[in-house]
Structure 1
Amino acid sequence: MPTVASQSFTDAAYWAARVRPLVKPERFEHIERVADLARDIATANGLSAEKAYLAGILHDVARDLGNDELLRLAPPESPMDAAHPMIVHGRAARTILEKWGFTDPELLDAVEEHTTGPRDNKPISVCVYVADISEPGRGVNDHIRELAFTDLERAYREALFCKVHYLESKGKPVHPRTMAAYQRLVALSGAPRSFTCEEFQPPSTNPRATPQRSTQ
């Protein structure tokens, strides 16, 4: 097992091999697409491509665990967590990574917050959140993905606003962490005047769905 105490982000292949047997095959395809996209977004914005990629590889390590195990790893913070345990899979993933020896707070936060939104607009967290919501296998949010290469902050705002809008339009509750992140953005930049939202979709099982940049 490689040492992670020094936080050398050079063992992504090892960690990918460790994550692969813990998730469904189609989940791992999604993980690879998110990691690739998070790396590319980070590169375009002058951030650590290695850290963004590794966070992408690790972000869904707990996604296919059962409800009881999820709640054991990430005890409910709210009634919504208890009613819908899948919401806590980001926090559960952080617990797993801490047990594996990861200590870098930026990476751990990015993994934890990919489900509910970055709490403080942390750049690597934003990269992973935007990549997860817009990776090509979902078949939606291409505009958010393209925007992330030139204006990551705006891409994040659109992604979060769209998520809240989508949930509210469906009469679904918004997680307290997501609403807190939304309210922080509104306080900083005002309520959204206009943005483009598409139906959120689960990741595609198409193995050929890979990130593509527009040539226009």
Structure 2
Amino acid sequence: MKSTVSTAELLERVKALVRPERLEHILRVAALAREIAEANGLDGERAYLAGLLHDAARDLPEEELKRLAPPENAVEEAHPLALHGRAARRLAEAWGVEDPEVLEAVEGHVYGVDPENAIGMALYIADISEPGRGVNGEIRELALRGGLLEAYRMAVANKVRYLSAKGVPVHPKTLAVYQSFHAP
């Protein structure tokens, strides 16, 4: 499904909301999401669009995040930054983006998506492994070789391990995705 609004217009809207460093990250993620999608037989432009939108709300104040995406659980209440994916989805919807898979990818880039959403998996991997982060290169390379599902499984497991090691509560949706990969 194509968006009713141009990518150039969306880029300008995102630029108006984020710091220059965040915009650089967003553009790296969008480009990598496109590459990952294309390497796995998916629509690269839809993945690029999801990447362009994913952190649109990342630099908003906590009060604005809570207004756009009221907390739904204790993790979101204690860590309002966890709301930025759902808040970005709300912005994208208000801007005319209608593609449900892209919108779900934008929302789910924080805590994970159902593996049925291949665009969402490509975005999630791109976000945690874009070269500017300096980590998870092996996950990026696996995804770029066509191993999307396995790379996504590794990315979710890495996130759970990382947050757990830091003593940060893991979002219930991330745990659900993680457990779906590790169920008996």
What TM-score do the two structures reach when normalised by structure 1? Answer: 0.81
Please name the residue that 2:179 is paired with: 183
Please name the residue that 2:113 is paired with: 118
Structure 1 outlier segments of 4+, above 3 Å:
none
In 2, Cα distance between the equivalents of 1:59 and 1:169? 26
Please name the residue that 1:92 is paired with: 87
Please name the residue that 2:52 is paired with: 57
Consecutive unaligned residues of structure 2, counting only runs of 5 or more, are none
- Specify the code of the residue in structure 2 equivalent to 1:180: A
In 2, Cα distance between the equivalents of 1:8 and 1:103? 6
Structure holding more helix per residue: 2
In 2, Cα distance between the equivalents of 1:7 and 1:22? 23
Cα-to-partner distance string for 1:43-100 (whole Å, 9 max, x where unaligned): 1111000100011001111000000110111011101111110001000111111112
CA shift for structure 1 position 166: 1.1
- Specify the code of the residue in structure 2 equivalent to 1:130: I
Aligned-residue sequence identity (percent) comes to 57
- Specify the code of the residue in structure 1 equivalent to 2:178: Y
Please name the residue that 2:16 is paired with: 21
Please name the residue that 1:159 is paired with: 155
Do 2:113 and 2:177's aligned partners in 1 also have CA atoms closer than 8 Å? yes
- Specify the code of the residue in structure 2 equivalent to 1:168: S
Structure possessing the higher radius of gyration over alpha carbons: 1
Across the aligned residues of Structure 1 and Structure 2, the Cα RMSD in angstroms comes to: 1.5
In 2, Cα distance between the equivalents of 1:128 and 1:63? 15
Please name the residue that 1:78 is paired with: 73
In 1, Cα distance between the equivalents of 2:168 and 2:99? 34
Consecutive unaligned residues of structure 1, counting only runs of 5 or more, are 1-5, 191-216
In 2, Cα distance between the equivalents of 1:119 and 1:59? 17
Please name the residue that 1:213 is paired with: none
